């Protein structure tokens, strides 16, 4: 798989996130407008003005942060190898994907705050791989909702990142094809059959591997194994 295919999928996948990012920005923008109107209506009382200005500043900073981080992840680039923090990547992806998760009545269960994990590779590319797997799990629960559980733990010199969904699982007939470029069972134009192939390509480039299996109870378990930094 060449770099052009990875970048094309990046633009397509993060393009899906635009509605969610707009929703997040709009939430904070309503705070800005609301407190600006309150200051205006209150006649500029010192305490009300200071409190309102603080709320406006905080919301403005959150808007700027969302836009800056989204622009960082969506921008095409040549991959670099450097240390990055997985919890930071996860928390930022959670903001971008919250709208999509909410529409599907999916709850994202994240690792504990003490689960510090540093990897070595291109953080933006790894975020793309992780987002593809997260959305794949979300779509598996479409119509019924559930919990999408993310966990991370060290084992045998590698970090294991697991994403467990509560969907219907994968039919044995199509399991051998899930990493095939262009293969998809979904008719929507959003689905190009590139998510899992691109994710596996990125993870392989970091010296790791991506596997997907049906869980014994319900749904699927995707496991990303990457050498510890």
Quote the crossing angle between the two packed helices 86-103 and 123-140, to the nearest 10°: 30
Question: What's the whole-number mean pLDDT along residues 157-186?
Answer: 90
Question: What's the whole-number mean pLDDT along residues 206-214?
Answer: 96
pLDDT of 202 higher than 80: yes
Helix intervals (H) in the chain: 3-16, 18-42, 46-74, 86-103, 123-140, 195-205
Q: Residue 160 — pLDDT band, cuts 50, 70, 90?
A: very high
pLDDT of 75 higher than 60: yes
Poorest-confidence range of 9-13, 39-43, 82-86?
A: 39-43
Distance CA 17, CA 11 (A): 10
pLDDT of 124 higher than 60: yes
At residue 81, the pLDDT reads: 94
The first and second tokens of residue 125, run together, are 């590319």
pLDDT of 105 higher than 80: yes
At residue 114, the pLDDT reads: 60
pLDDT of 79 higher than 80: yes
Q: Which residues, including other chains, have CB under 8 Å from residue 213's CB and lie 6 or more apart?
A: 220, 221, 223
67-85 CB burial, b ≥16 within 10 A, e <16: eebbeebbeeeebeeeebe
Question: What's the whole-number mean pLDDT along residues 121-139?
Answer: 93
Question: What's the whole-number mean pLDDT along residues 197-214?
Answer: 96
Taking residue 156's Cβ as centre, other Cβ atoms within 10 Å add up to 7
At residue 43, the pLDDT reads: 60
Better-scored residue on pLDDT, 223 or 55: 223
Domains present along the chain, CATH in parentheses: 79-227 (3.30.565.10)
Q: What is the mean pLDDT of the chain?
A: 86
pLDDT of 189 higher than 60: no
Poorest-confidence range of 31-40, 44-53, 140-149?
A: 44-53
């Amino acid at each position: 798989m060449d770099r052009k295919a990875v970048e094309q999928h990046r633009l397509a996948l993060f393009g899906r996130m635009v509605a969610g990012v707009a929703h997040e920005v709009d939430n904070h923008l309503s705070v800005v407008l609301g407190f600006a109107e309150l200051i205006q209506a209150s006649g500029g009382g010192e305490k009300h003005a200071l409190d309102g200005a603080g709320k406006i500043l905080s919301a403005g900073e959150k808007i700027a942060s969302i836009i800056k981080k989204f622009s960082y992840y969506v921008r095409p680039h040549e991959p670099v190898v450097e240390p990055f923090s997985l919890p930071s990547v996860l928390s930022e992806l959670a903001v971008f994907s919250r709208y999509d998760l909410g529409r599907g009545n999916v709850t994202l269960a994240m690792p504990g705050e003490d689960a510090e994990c540093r990897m070595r590779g291109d953080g933006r590319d790894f975020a793309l791989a992780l987002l593809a797997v997260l959305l794949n799990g979300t779509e598996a629960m479409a119509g019924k909702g559930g919990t999408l559980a993310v966990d991370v733990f060290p084992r045998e010199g590698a970090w294991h990142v697991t994403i467990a969904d509560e969907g219907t699982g994968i039919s044995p007939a199509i399991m051998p094809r899930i990493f095939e470029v262009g293969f998809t069972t979904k008719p929507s134009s959003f689905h190009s059959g590139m998510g899992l192939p691109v994710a596996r390509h990125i993870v392989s480039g970091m010296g790791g591997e991506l596997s997907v299996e049906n869980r014994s109870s319900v749904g699927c378990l995707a496991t990303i194994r990457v050498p510890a930094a």
